[in-house]
């Protein structure tokens, strides 16, 4: 009933590299009331956070670090809506937001895509009927291109320079039309994309090739809510699920070189390989030699209980939030 946006200090992560330390205690710095459920949020820059609401409104909050307060600096009322923007109950949930300063892109249950600029009151561009189904998530491929995932298992690429309201490419999971909930782009190789959805399967796509995923990796027992490549070491990938698990996928080294102590200490580790179509680029995620292409998976929450709804990762720090109304920080991810 009463939702809030909160700013926490979780300690300093140094330069964000894998070997940097994460120091300091966590503390609540400030918070502010928020109308509707918080569906998604992302930092636009050091002091501004863009927040998507279930009411369809998108708000930019400013964090004033000198006196530790939050204020709403810009609000796009009912950026997403079902009938029309003026009716009192017409709002449709804004399900996803992605920022590439000064650009902000939002997607929603209404199948609409909005492009906002951080300091402009009106939308720069709106694609009204971008999708006939719910758009669940969006990411930037490059500064002028975005990728959306929807509730019937499709990925669509949109070129924001084009004035036509059609995607430039459509990819889809074959047959099943399983809703996709999350997407992330490889930080260095923009053609590699990871998605997850209702069946808990991790899909890896090469958007230069074909319209189907390069590989499908059986993962969670229930919906996958979030997928993230590690920003500075993208051979590491993280996924979390409704089933209460949070998996660390490590494709960085040959398994045969790894010591077997990984099987001890309460960590459940699984190895398997997958073969893919022949690839020209050698990425761990697109490797075409199944003997080499082994991925080590570690469940970082061995005693899983409630849904893990969201995660983020930076340097040695992993952050995740669960249905137990708790936020967890793992500060020694690669120790």
Residue 262 — φ and ψ, nearest 5°? -60, -20
Q: Which residues on neighbouring strands pair with residue 116, listed in sequence order?
A: 104
The predicted pLDDT at position 280 comes to 32
Question: E strands within 160-221?
Answer: 169-172, 180-185, 192-197, 202-206, 215-217
pLDDT tens per residue, range 123-179? 999 999 999 999 999 999 999 999 999 999 999 999 999 888 999 999 998 777 899
Mean pLDDT of all residues in 299-327: 90
Question: Global pTM?
Answer: 0.86
Q: How many residues does the chain have?
A: 335
pLDDT at 265: 31
Q: Based on C-alpha coordinates, what's the Rg of the chain?
A: 20
Kindly list the structural domains of the chain, giving each domain's residue range(s) and its CATH number in brackets, ordered by start.
Answer: 1-11+23-129 (2.130.10.10)
More confident call, 199 vs 26: 199
Confidence check: pLDDT of 18 > 70:
no
């Amino acid at each position: 009933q009463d939702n809030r946006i909160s700013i926490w200090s979780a300690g300093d992560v140094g330069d964000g590299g894998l070997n940097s330390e994460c120091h300091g205690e966590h503390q609540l710095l400030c918070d502010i009331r928020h109308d509707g459920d918080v569906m998604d949020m992302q930092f636009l820059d050091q002091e501004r956070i863009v927040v998507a609401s279930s009411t369809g409104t998108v708000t930019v909050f400013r964090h004033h670090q000198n006196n530790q307060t939050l204020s709403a600096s810009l609000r796009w009322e009912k950026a997403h809506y079902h009938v029309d923007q003026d009716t009192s109950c017409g709002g449709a949930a804004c399900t996803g937001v992605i920022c590439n300063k000064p650009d902000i892109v939002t997607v929603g249950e209404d199948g609409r895509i909005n492009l906002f600029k951080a300091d402009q009151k009106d939308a720069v561009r709106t694609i009204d009927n971008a999708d006939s189904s719910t758009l669940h998530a969006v990411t930037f491929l490059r500064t002028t291109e975005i990728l959306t995932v929807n509730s019937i298992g499709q990925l669509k690429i949109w070129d924001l320079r084009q004035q036509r309201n059609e995607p430039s490419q459509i990819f889809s999971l074959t047959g099943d039309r399983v809703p996709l909930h999350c997407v992330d782009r490889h930080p260095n190789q923009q053609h590699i994309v990871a998605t997850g959805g209702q069946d808990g399967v991790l899909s890896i796509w090469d958007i230069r090739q074909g319209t189907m995923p390069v590989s499908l990796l059986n993962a969670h027992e229930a919906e996958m809510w979030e997928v993230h490549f590690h920003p500075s070491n993208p051979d590491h990938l993280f996924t979390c699920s409704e089933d209460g698990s949070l998996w660390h996928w490590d494709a960085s080294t040959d398994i045969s070189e790894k010591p077997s102590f990984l099987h001890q200490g309460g960590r459940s580790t699984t190895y398997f390989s997958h073969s893919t179509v022949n690839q020209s680029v050698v990425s761990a995620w697109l490797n075409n030699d199944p003997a080499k292409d082994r991925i080590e998976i570690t469940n970082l929450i061995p005693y899983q209980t409630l849904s893990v709804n969201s995660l983020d990762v930076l340097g040695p720090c992993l952050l995740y939030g669960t249905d137990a109304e708790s936020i967890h920080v793992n500060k020694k991810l690669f120790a």
